Structure 1
Amino acid sequence: MKDSLDAISLLAIFEKSANSLVIKADPPRFTILAVSDKYLEISRTKREDIIGKGVFEVFPDNESDPSGALSAYKAFMSVIETKKQVDLPVYKYDILVPETGLLTPFYWSNTNVPILGGDGQVAFILNTTADITDKVLLQQKEELGRKELARYQQRLNELFTQAPVAVATLIGPEHVVEVANERILEIWGKKSEDVLNKPIFEGLHEAKGQGLEELLTRVYHTGQRFVAYDRPITLPRNGQLEERYVDFLYEPLREAGGTVTGISVVAIDVTDQVHARKKIEESQERLNLILEASGLGNWDFDIVHKRSTRSLRHDQIFGYESLQPNWIHTDSFNQIYLPDQPRARQEFERAFKTGSLQLEVRIVWPDQTLHWIKIYGKIFFDQQQNPIRIVGTVADIDLEKKQAEHLEEQVTQRTLELSQAVQNLQRSNTNLEQFAYVASHDLQEPLRKIQSFSNILESQYTAELSADVVSLIKRMASAAERMSGLIRDLLTYSRLTTHQQAFVPISLGALIHQVLENLEVQIYHEKAHMQIDDLPTLNGDVLQLSQLFQNLISNAIKFHLPDVVPQIHIGYRLVSATELPQNLKPASQATSFHQISVADNGIGFDEKYLDRIFEIFQRLHGRSNFSGTGIGLAICQKVVINHGGAITASSQPGKGATFVVYLPA
């Protein structure tokens, strides 16, 4: 009786405990024996509906995605087999929501603790579960946001590169040049390889000590833009230093949270304009000592008495070679091009109120040609505020306007050229798709026939053929097989750009397990030993990552020393971006990375060929020694770049090689 009371008390205490189940170790049913109140709450069930029933009877998984039930079942079986606690940090398991009557995706984290019976075997399993759906969904949203930001940044960089004005982006407190288009390289007097991915004052050291360092530092730390006009800067030109005048804008670049991460630079070389303006100013100063104006038409109109005093230049600007008699201010207005007259009338009406006139209009010369002029004037009034006199100047701005129109036409033309370039790129992508189709269908078909016919010749007619002919048939079949493999690899390489799938969470351990199953024959044949660390879950394209690690592991097995059993270790650790090798530039700006290494005890290679091994069609070993197309590592690098990461390797001849992949965490 006392034992029954104790059992009832313990059950009551358990029911008020954490999110837990007591499950009987009776696979495959796994009967639920006890459940806590909190577990009922998060699983949206009632005690009377689940006690005495099997786990997978109470929680049937989604038929279209049974991965959750499979993960739970494997965990329970592992507890029974190992008699050790098994954790599932994150897994997806759809459950029925009573409010909607629908199977709804949930994400869980649980521990499964073995409870041994008197026979020393696992009798029960204590399952403690937490609902982490909100946390996982938030992480997915954050990852999606990071991807959108990366795509936006990529598009922005493309626009910068193709912009018709001089543009650059400088990243970080050292102002590393990330983007620099051709126009700004012309202003700097540098080539792209001189400055890209370097601090600006390392690649453009000639600009040091001219106050630009302080300006960039101030913009980066204060987040306030800086604009300069006609700034003199000494820059390299044709092998020597030359003073140039530049209008430029320093605009801070910010992350979503407002943190300044870099500076956008927009610049215009105005050296010619500044020199021209200075010459004009100098000339004007000299001429002002002699003449009232130079190059400008001076005029003074007496409105009351309808008289005028004008310089010869004034009448010349209006298309006359000599001064015209009896000219009054209405004559000037009547010569304005008819479509411009309404705007001119409004400006004159405003000037008669404000006392200041400024106007750019087209006038019609006596020969009926159109010319742009600019008018400045001051209105004088009598005591009753009636206009009595207008004094001012007129300038011929026809050339300036036509140059502006020409510049606008150039901008329009270059915009059209940019649009054409985009269309050409689209056509190029279409052609690449067509090539992929041809490679996968039309090119493979004749190769299959060659292989089939050569197999028939070898199997049915060997006795009738000479040894040389048989050798030629075998070589033909081998060449066809190599060609077929090359086409498959080329198709894989091209699809890495044109057929990338949306990234999804991937268990890297499960993916590696599948890859090893694919390589089972090669592993068995070479008697390779595999050692695999605990691997993370990461976001990526399943097919591309499978191709990446299949290539790396296959190479590790293939390039082994004679009479030496291949020993392959797949290692893992999480590293910060600052721990990456200095010469390694990942394709994304992540703060931390998954470091996955594939190390072997094979033939190795000389590290002076490190850059070469990732290039397409590059081989360090003869085809007679090791098979392959020379595309495998190029595919690996392409996959890693698609995922925003980087790949490198270290090795010594005869001492094995280690390939290290960094993928954003």
Structure 2
Amino acid sequence: MARELRTKTVRHDGGVHGTVGIVGAVDRPTATPEPASATAFEGAATVLEEADVGVFVLDDEFDVAWINETTEHYFGVDRDAVVGRDKRRLIEETIAGRLADADAFVDTVFATYGDNTFAERFECHVTPGPDREARWLEHRSRPIESGPYAGGRVELYYDVTDRHERTAQLQRLHDAVQEWIGGDSREAVAAAASRHIQEILDLEVNGVFLYDPATEELRPAGWSSTAETLFGELPTFEAGDAIAWRVFEAGEPALIDDVTADPDVYNSETPIRTELCLPIGDHGVVLVGSPERDAFDESDRSLANVVASSLEATFDRIHHERQLERERTQTERLLQMAPIGISVENAAGETVLTNRRIQTRFGPETEAALGETELIERWDVFDASGEPLEPEDGPSARVRRTGEPVFDTELVVESTAGDRGWISVNAVPVFGPDGSLERVISSAEDVTAFKEQQRRLERRKSELETELSEVFGRVSDAFYAVDEEFRFTHVNERAEELLGYSSDELVGEVLWEVFPGGKRSDLYERYHQAMETQESLSWERYSRTLDIWMEIRAYPSPTGLSVYFRDVTERRKYEHKLEESNERLEQFAYAASHDLQEPLRMVTSYLRLIERRYDDVLDEDGREFIEFAVDGADRMREMIDGLLAYSRVETRGDEFEPVDLAQTLAAVRRDLELQIEESNAEITVESLPRVQGDRSQLRQVFQNLLTNAIEYSGNDRPRITVTAERVDDPTAIDRRTALAARGEDAWVVSVSDDGIGIDPDDHERIFEVFQRLHGHDDHDGTGIGLALCQRIVERHGGEIQVDSKPGEGATFSVTLPAAST
């Protein structure tokens, strides 16, 4: 009988799974075979026989037309005994008995025979037997639509045992992870994880090493029984030690096929060959090893990664829970220790958390802690106007109703003893992720003492206002006060006289509206400056409105400005006359000193002429008398020169400019070079500033001071120090006067020596003109040098003072304005 082979590609779910060949009889002579069909049959049969998929081919009567060797192996059947049999009977008599889920298998497969129009897919479990292994198979079948077996069906069976075992393994691992999550410490979780790695993943040699930040070490926290048998005590890895530390620092897993060849191997004689090291975030590493090389496949690595990731998540949770527990404990302690009442309520107004601070102050000690709403319900609480407060009108209730915070609500609480106290309540909302209100947090502070003090202050304020009105009425200076909006609040009688308005007309009115011209004058700028800087100001100005000169002193405060002013017109006229008189006196002194120069020069010249011409007839007394006369004339000339310089300080001085005192002192030292060398003086000059002044006059000041320091050094070597100190706080040192008091930056430059010193009773006298403390035989000088220094310094707006005692040296301090920037 002639036969033919017909082949068809097997497709399922869009994929190609093999080729099915069908052999059938044909009505034609055997002498005319088709070699191509025979070749196709042999090729298809070879493919199907070698495939890992079991194949049943059924004809249109659902008899078995063909099976492959894999099917025999899967179900433990013989091909010869199966082919040609009805598939239904084959299932009932043989296959069903070899399945764990026979009824479901029978129902599902028979349904495809009853309605052979659809594809089917399901899993079945083959039980073990002498002629087969236990395995899970996936059944896939569909109808044959063409060919000699059209109307029949092809059934494919895929071995999915590994997938099932992997799924079961993952399920066990999932259950293990749930156990870890319930752990209360990293160490307990590490020990459980190591045991599960051995039991579930069959990774016999493993250990979990946790990072200890205190010692910066990776310490063993869990290890398998096999690892303990193999190594005994597991090592602790210090920073930089071994592969474990490398993986921990890098945060990347490492698979080493031959650990003994790795440069970071901890022990080159280790019995371990393959090592898998996985990081656990910031918590440590998992080490898995095997004595065999290339011991771990992709499945092992994948499951180990799952373990490491799960451990990291578990350790993070433990760390987070411990942190939350610490924070919760701290919050509880802070809540109980807080000096104010704190209440937390939920969206329904129920108390979630509270302390007893307000109750301790106003309620019985034995009563349970109450939240804000509960307290208003049970206690007598009133609003600021004295009306009883209902719970639905309390601060927390208002927040729940509006979603807006409530601040500084003052309530009156009546204590159980009948006493009343004040509390100030703040309440704020807390919203959830969806924007809904979750909590209301309120705080209550006992402000009873503050309210009582406020009432006392209000009474005292009223009393003071009455007293101040009486005091201001008696102040000789004119006085008025304005608030921060420049409204008059007080006006005394003298101010009424000068301003031309009564107190009733001014109080409550704005200064600039009553006196609009003041807004265009310096008053507006100076008053605002005083308010902005909160620094007092003092100045004199001419008021065209009042036609007087006024001295004004403005004292700011956060609530307003107090202004004292007086009519100084007469004083200004007197000062003008005095200035004119002083100018005439200076002119006279200059003229007198200038005119006296010529007679003195003539006296000196003739005395020197007598000395030269009659030297041979003069005895020692005569020559001495002439020297006395010449010396007296020279000193007279020096005094006249000094007086001339003294009179010119104001009229002949240069304009002020920035002066570098370091350069000035250097020039003075060059001028005194001979005197310094002769006296062997030691002069130390520290860092000196730039000041605003007359360069030549300041040079004269410091030349006089250094000359005096050298002259009055006594018998010892002169030691002189020049220092400077910045003055920007007028209260820092009492003596740092006018410049700092006017709010100007200043420098105090001091010249100190260790000479003979000055009696404190003479401190003022030495600055008077022609005053000397020593005779000419002891020390040279005219007695005008320090007076000249004082006048120069006063021209600069500063002052000069001395600090000295006999035998303890002297320090002369000069206050000078800082250089303007």
TM-score, normalised to structure 1, is 0.40
Larger Rg: 2
Larger RCO (alpha carbons 8 Å, 6+ apart): 1
TM-score, normalised to structure 2, is 0.33
